[in-house]
Each structure stands twice: as structure tokens, then as C-alpha cells.
Amino acid sequence: MNLEVFLLLAAALFSVGLYGALSQQSIVMLMMGLELMINALLVAGAAFWFYVSPGTPDGQVLVLVAVTVMALEMAMGFAVITALFRTRDVDMTDEAGHLKG
Amino acid sequence: METVAVWVLAVAAVGFGVAVFVVDSMARATFALLASFLCVGVELLLLDLDYLGVLVILMMIMEMLIMAVFMIMYMMNPGGLMPMTMVHNNRGALAISIGVFTALAAGIFLTPWPPRRGTVPADPTFSVGQAIMGPKMLVMMVIGIAILATMIASVVLATDRGRYDRPSHREDGAK
């Protein structure tokens, strides 16, 4: 058990989340992909704290920030979906391309 | 023993993560995501992060229960009664994510990581508490303001009425 194992887990979670965020048509599923990517950050931050500098709590504070970001991302995401659904009856990413350049 | 637990949980976390995008039912996808988060929470516990591990576990249980409600609200196939896939550019997304994983894994094994500095404190929870109430208080303050801003913004976005209490679909403001 060492740093590389945890970082590998983080990389795998990040890649799975990235696949979801890129491929899913439903906005809710896309947000699940984003959540998985932030989940990977939690693992990486905790592993860096434990294996690189456990003497200072910086890594723990970083994990705390990532957990907060995760919750805020979900709240804002659902608010945007609600607004989008209310005005345009849209819940798929392909139909929400109005800002496409 | 601990090594086995770490590996089993890591494989389970990634497996449940993959399951999120494989299962037919949206409700099942939500609970697969929850399982993945719980595995990560226990991994944090194994890294001596008692407080953060429990925080992740409790927060994710609540978050995924709320998410399940939204899933059932917005999905056309909440119960998974008819199999369907809802993906676009599947091959491109797979190629990109496999490429990213390969690059990250190469980086992980090729980077000379610095040696460990310091030792794990007797009570990591105490040290993080002291940090966020002392030298890292700015982080806590920014988090607090961000949470407040999110609460206001999400209510403003999700409410039916726009600004100034007018229905959003009436331009003239008449009710």
C-alpha cells in the first residue's frame, strides 16, 4: 500500500467520470460524471496528505474544499436543470445547445 | 489486511463508478454512485482521516437520496423498465477517457514523488479543526460565502418567478 495505489484509484475514478461527463446525453447523468471526477480528487488529496506531508493539515483542508465543491456543484446543477426544464422542456444536453458558437 | 481492504475497496469504487453509466435504470445508477462514494469514504477512513471519511459517507448518503428524487423527476426511464442508452459520441468519449487514464497512470509511476515529511498526528481531526479555525480560516470563510451564494443562486434559478416577482414568461410584467 503506497501513494501510487491511491493515485491510480483516483486516476481510474477520474477517467470513468470523464467518460460519463463526455458521453451522457442526460444532464443529470452528466452531473454524475462530474461528481465522480471530484470523488477522484478526494482520494488524491487524502493520499497526498497521508503519504507526502501528514505533518501539516493542508491536504485535509483541500479535501474539505473538494467535498464542499461537490455539494455546491450538485445544488447549482439541479437549479440549472430546473430552470432549463421550466422554460424549454429540455433535459438532454443535445437540445440545450443555444449558446453554441 | 489493510492492503487487501484498500485494493478491494478501490476495485469496488471503480466498478460501481462504471456501473453508473452501464445500468439501465436511473435510480440504480444513483445508488451505484452512492456505493462508489461509500467505498471512497472508507478508503479515507483507512488513511486515518476519521472525520473526513465519516463526513464523506454521511454527506453522500444525503446527497444521493436527494439526487434519486431529481432522477425520478427528470428521467424518462426512472425505473429501468425499458432498456435504453442515452449516449452521444460514445467512441470519442471512451478514447479520450482511456487516453487520460493512460497519461495519468504514466505520470503517477514516472514522477519521483517527494519523501514523506512529518508524521501522522495523533488526532488528525484536531489538527484540521485547529487549521480551519486558525491559519486556514480564510478557506473556511470563502467556503461559507460560496455556500450562501449557492443557496441564493439556486433558489433564484429554480423559482418560477423571475426577478421583481414577475412571472418569467411574461415580458411586460403583468400577472
Domains in chain A: boundaries? 3-88
How high is the pLDDT of residue B37?
Answer: 93
pTM of this structure:
0.87
Distance CA B170, CA B175 (A): 8
B1–chain A nearest CA distance, Å: 10
Residue type at position A99: L
Query: Selecting from 1.10.238.10, 3.40.50.720, 2.60.40.3880, 1.10.287.3510, what CATH number does the domain A3-88 have?
Result: 1.10.287.3510
What is the ipTM for the molecules in this complex?
Answer: 0.88
Domain boundaries, chain B: 1-78, 123-175
How high is the pLDDT of residue B79?
Answer: 56
Q: Which three cell numbers stand for residue B60?
A: 453522500
Q: Do B93 and A64 touch (CB under 8 A)?
A: no
Q: Do B86 and A70 touch (CB under 8 A)?
A: no
How high is the pLDDT of residue B71?
Answer: 77
CA distances from A59 to A47, B78, B149, B152 (A): 8, 38, 25, 29
How high is the pLDDT of residue A10?
Answer: 95
Q: Do B130 and A49 touch (CB under 8 A)?
A: no
- Give the list of residues 6+ apart from residue B47 with CB closer than 8 angstroms, or none: A6, A46, A47, A49, A50, B53
Distance CA B12, CA B6 (A): 10
How high is the pLDDT of residue A43?
Answer: 93
pLDDT tens column, A59-100: 899 999 999 999 999 889 888 888 888 877 776 777 777 766
Tell me whether residue B78 is exposed, middle or buried, using C-beta atoms within 10 angstroms of its C-beta: 0 to 12, 13 to 18, 19 or more. middle
